[in-house]
Structure 1
Amino acid sequence: METDVLGLPYERHTIDLGSDDEGPVVATLVRRRAANPTRRAVLHVHGFVDYFFQTHMADFFVERGWDFYALDLRKYGRSLLPHQTPNFARSMTDYFPELDEAARIIREEDGHDQLLVTGHSTGGLITSLWAHTRRGRGLVDGLFLNSPFFDFNLPWVMRRPLMSMVLAVTGRYPYRKMPVANLGLYGRSLHHEHDGEWSYDLAWKPITGFPVRMGWLEAIRRGQHKLRSGLSIDAPVLVACSTRTFRGRAWHDDIRVSDSVLDVDHITRWAPGLSRQVTIARFDGGMHDLTLSGKEVRAEVFREVGRWVDAFLPAPGTPEAAIPPAPEDRAGIATALEAAEAAVENRTTDEADDKSGATA
């Protein structure tokens, strides 16, 4: 590990992922240790046009006794190399090797036996598919999805038949840019030089984003289709999103209190199909990245995450809550209940016999 760009106490480790058609590929694992040794760890995965800079999220977990890790995926943030197309991938499974290696480092090298994975937006889609594919291996103990990218925020005719037609025509040109303009409204709502409160590297997270490539679009579409068909993640899942979607194309203050990227109803529609244990939490006034919402809202988000973690991911070694015996399991009660049931059965039989004799 070496010192990260955020400075101490943040460290980073570069994961060598070989090469693809553009050349060498790496991912970057960022780490911040808790004050005291712990067996619990969090692994955060960012969204599209994003990287890890949300140090207040690390503060929250570290103060609760968790070691915090964040993974800048290949071609994002710290892992973006000069020869690469920013944020490009041909499949959501492209990211599985760095997720596998991050989990191995956290569990085997750093000695953790409890892992909570958090994923925002595209990171929520990726981690859901990864957790489903790696089920049964004891890698993921819980999954927190912050406004996950389960569907495109478009009318049905555009996100289904029209998109299929477009991708069928352009499928041979994965690096071709999709002819859409990012208005930068969400970026403006975040960065402190515009209408937001956050400071981050605009080279890694530009206000107007990076161009959307056809190959990436097809990869997202395939991943979403698999997710919407139903997953079997063998860990509890918390899915969180705003209560409102903003659909305007010009700046409005509502952008600061709603999801201006995704349709929140899509998120709640598809969430129950992830696992047998899914909790859905919606936050009034939440932005697309709930942890970057206004102060009061993000405080509510972290409180809810804390309650959910306490309920579904108790610290290793925490004794299980004793289950009180049912009344029929207590000494003497079972005999009394059996006697009462027998009396009812006898009375019912006698009444039936009386009726039978009266009508003979």
Structure 2
Amino acid sequence: MALEQIPDILGDPWVSETFALSPDAEGAVVATMVSHRSTVGNRGAVLHVHGFADYFFHTEYAQWWIERGYDFYALDLRKYGRSILPHQTPNYVADLREYDDELAEAWQRITERDGHSQVVASAHSTGGLVLPLWLNRVRPRGLAALVLNSPWLDLQGGAATRVIGTPLIKQVGARQPMRQIRRNVTGLYGRSLHHHHEGEWDFDLQWKPLMSFAVYAGWLRAVRHGHAELQKGLDVRCPVLVLSSDRSSQPMVMGEDVHTTDIVLDVEQIRRWSTALGRHVTYIAIPGARHDVVLSRPGPRARVYDEIGRWLTTYVAPPSRTLL
């Protein structure tokens, strides 16, 4: 159930509303949707979903769509950002299908309550796994296009790591779901973004901490099940655009690679598995982009928007036509 819209932390004219969802093993659960209406034309709507250890603060990305006539909506999933409740384990779910409830609620609000007949779905990183799986299962009315920003489509590391590690992850995740997975987090990615460090962006370090959040076996098990489902092949029935950096790296100290490559995911995996998303997929590598391509430095960021604009013009019909 949606509560009343209230002014959002992003400031006027952004508003937010909270969806009360079915409780889980930890208790009460909510999700939060923020939105900003366009005053330029009426081309449709965008629904955006964030990645892991993240939430929506990407107002420049939103403004790009708003200026082109799209109403913009962004969903902070359960246990992320605006939706974290004090009793919850941040970012944790045991099954990616748990997100179905808030995705369905948000989609219904956009299409039925707000009357949009065409919706562009947008997602980043882990959201770029969650959202296509849901679209493929549900096939919601009004889906016009899908834009994915560095989607997480496979587990990083060599083939041997995935072959040996995945069964272990699934076993431990089933038996000890809250067992923490050790990993090396340098904090370099967060520092490259935040304006109090080496970046230009302002975001809440409680909701998007420099050192990320803990990863648990049950959550990673859910992600690997999602990877397996996607890699069998989806049929997302709309034009799909996948954007990523052109190169990955693993720096251990702050330097140029931190700012100009994807230091979170393997772009070769993104490129490989993009073809599993549907029948009509465009993949574009952006030289010099970060993991979150719309938070890259100004030059690569401008290229990102140019590419989205060209793709929209070429493949996405105006609201007077149907793509389904």
CA distance in 2, matches of 1:39, 1:104: 18
Higher deviation after alignment, 1-10 or 37-46 = 37-46
In the other structure, the counterpart of 2:298 is: 295
Q: Please tell me whether Structure 1 or Structure 2 has the larger radius of gyration of its CA atoms.
A: 1
Structure 1 counterpart of 2:134, one-letter code: W
In the other structure, the counterpart of 1:78 is: 82
| Aligned equivalent of 2:209, options 206, 210, 231 | 206
CA shift for structure 1 position 244: 0.3
Runs of 4+ in 1 over 3 A off after TM superposition: none
CA distance in 1, matches of 2:163, 2:54: 26
Structure 2 counterpart of 1:9, one-letter code: P
Deviation digits for residues 166-217 of structure 1 (CA, Å, limit 9, x no counterpart)? 4414531111111223111111111111111111000000000000011110
After superposition, the Cα gap between the structure-2 partners of 1:234 and 1:78, relative to the gap in structure 1 and judged at 3 Å, is same
In the other structure, the counterpart of 1:325 is: none
Residue 13 in structure 1 maps to residue 17 in structure 2? yes
Residue 30 in structure 1 maps to residue 72 in structure 2? no
In the other structure, the counterpart of 2:137 is: 133
- Please give the TM-score of this superposition, normalised by the length of structure 2: 0.95
Deviation digits for residues 98-129 of structure 1 (CA, Å, limit 9, x no counterpart)? 11110100000011111000010000001110
Higher deviation after alignment, 4-13 or 164-173 = 164-173
In the other structure, the counterpart of 1:344 is: none
| Aligned equivalent of 1:88, options 83, 87, 92 | 92
CA distance in 2, matches of 1:319, 1:36: 21
Residue 148 in structure 1 maps to residue 177 in structure 2? no
In the other structure, the counterpart of 2:247 is: 244
Deviation digits for residues 310-342 of structure 1 (CA, Å, limit 9, x no counterpart)? 22222222699xxxxxxxxxxxxxxxxxxxxxx
Greater helix percent: which structure?
1
After superposition, the Cα gap between the structure-2 partners of 1:247 and 1:229, relative to the gap in structure 1 and judged at 3 Å, is same
CA distance in 2, matches of 1:146, 1:134: 21
After superposition, the Cα gap between the structure-2 partners of 1:63 and 1:279, relative to the gap in structure 1 and judged at 3 Å, is same
Structure 1 counterpart of 2:131, one-letter code: T
Structure 2 counterpart of 1:50, one-letter code: D
Taking only the aligned residue pairs, the percentage that are identical comes to: 45
Higher relative contact order, structure no. (Cα contacts within 8 Å, ≥ 6 residues apart): 2
CA distance in 2, matches of 1:182, 1:163: 21
Residue 157 in structure 1 maps to residue 160 in structure 2? yes
Structure 2 counterpart of 1:265, one-letter code: E
Residue 174 in structure 1 maps to residue 200 in structure 2? no
CA shift for structure 1 position 79: 0.3
In the other structure, the counterpart of 1:109 is: 113
After superposition, the Cα gap between the structure-2 partners of 1:37 and 1:14, relative to the gap in structure 1 and judged at 3 Å, is farther
Aligned residues: 319
CA distance in 2, matches of 1:169, 1:144: 33
| Aligned equivalent of 1:100, options 93, 101, 104 | 104
Q: Secondary structure at 1:44's aligned position in 2?
A: strand
CA shift for structure 1 position 7: 1.2
Whether the aligned pair in 2 keeps the contact of 1:49 and 1:209 (CA below 8 Å) is: yes
CA distance in 1, matches of 2:279, 2:29: 36
CA shift for structure 1 position 229: 0.9
After superposition, the Cα gap between the structure-2 partners of 1:139 and 1:174, relative to the gap in structure 1 and judged at 3 Å, is farther
Question: Could you list the runs of 5+ residues in structure 1 that have no partner in the other structure?
Answer: 321-360
After superposition, the Cα gap between the structure-2 partners of 1:133 and 1:253, relative to the gap in structure 1 and judged at 3 Å, is same
- Please give the TM-score of this superposition, normalised by the length of structure 1: 0.86
Q: Secondary structure at 2:291's aligned position in 1?
A: coil
CA distance in 1, matches of 2:41, 2:35: 14
Whether the aligned pair in 2 keeps the contact of 1:39 and 1:111 (CA below 8 Å) is: no
Whether the aligned pair in 1 keeps the contact of 2:40 and 2:67 (CA below 8 Å) is: no
CA distance in 1, matches of 2:143, 2:216: 31
Whether the aligned pair in 2 keeps the contact of 1:103 and 1:139 (CA below 8 Å) is: no
Structure 2 counterpart of 1:305, one-letter code: I
Higher deviation after alignment, 160-169 or 122-131 = 160-169
